[in-house]
Amino acid sequence: MEDVKMSLTGHLSELRKRILISLAALLVVFGVVFNYSEEIFDFLTFPMKTDLKFSLHNPYVQLVQKQVANLVFLAPAEAFWMHLKISFVAAFVFSLPIIFYQVWRFISPGLLPGERRYVIPFIVSATSLFLVGASFCFFLVLPFALTFLMGYKTAHLTAMISVGSYIDFCLKFILAFGAIFELPLGIIFLARLGIVTPQFLAKNRKFAVLVAFIAGAILTPTPDAFNQTLMAVPIIILYEIGILMSRIVYRKRRNA
């Protein structure tokens, strides 16, 4: 019993150490990024100022600049808190390699000796998947969503959007899409623990498709089917990639 208690204490101590290192890295990066919060804010206005249009003729994709009302702040501290939020999220994104490395250091004792050398592929793939998901949302989903929301039955209305509401709206979906795109790594981790098997995942594919469209309906900020499909299709593709990778992991685990 004492050994179990010591083991649990050791795990908690290690977890605290990894969290503190991640927070320290986040604070250091935050101190640097905060000096560029205005440039980051200007970049985040891209979805509101841009309309993404598809065509059957060349050019097939067009980025059209549009005139929109200026953002306003409705409370004395709203603009200040907005700069803090975007700086914190930007610092989080820039700190992802360090954070994922700390995650790897925490879980690596439970891995096989041959699996521990995959630290670099894990960090690169986890960071890349998050960035791909965030970029997919920022450059594709949000321009569609904002064009729809700001143009739907608003002919007799004047837009007066607060900067805090806009930033919260964008950051919420950017972070959600980034997290969703980590699905293959989550599946691989569950397969490694033996919680799921490739056969189980393949057998329940139809439920995964249903969950993907439900998630698309929840995560996309517009009620139209196009944006929901725009979110559901990548989730289904990521699920299939997770199945393929889990087969490799499951085979190695079984052999070991």
Give me the residue spans of the domains in the chain. Answer: 2-181
pLDDT-flagged residues of the chain (< 70): 1-7, 52-56, 59-63, 67-69, 111-112, 221-224, 226-227, 252-256
- pLDDT value, residue 40: 95
- pLDDT value, residue 253: 66
- pLDDT value, residue 129: 93
Q: What is the dihedral of CA 196, 198, 199, 204, to 10 degrees?
A: 70
- pTM here? 0.85
- pLDDT value, residue 5: 45
- pLDDT value, residue 26: 95
Tell me the per-residue pLDDT of 120-175, one tens digit each, with 9 for 90 and over: 888 999 999 999 999 998 988 888 888 877 777 777 777 788 999 999 999 998 99
Structure tokens at 47: 């979805």
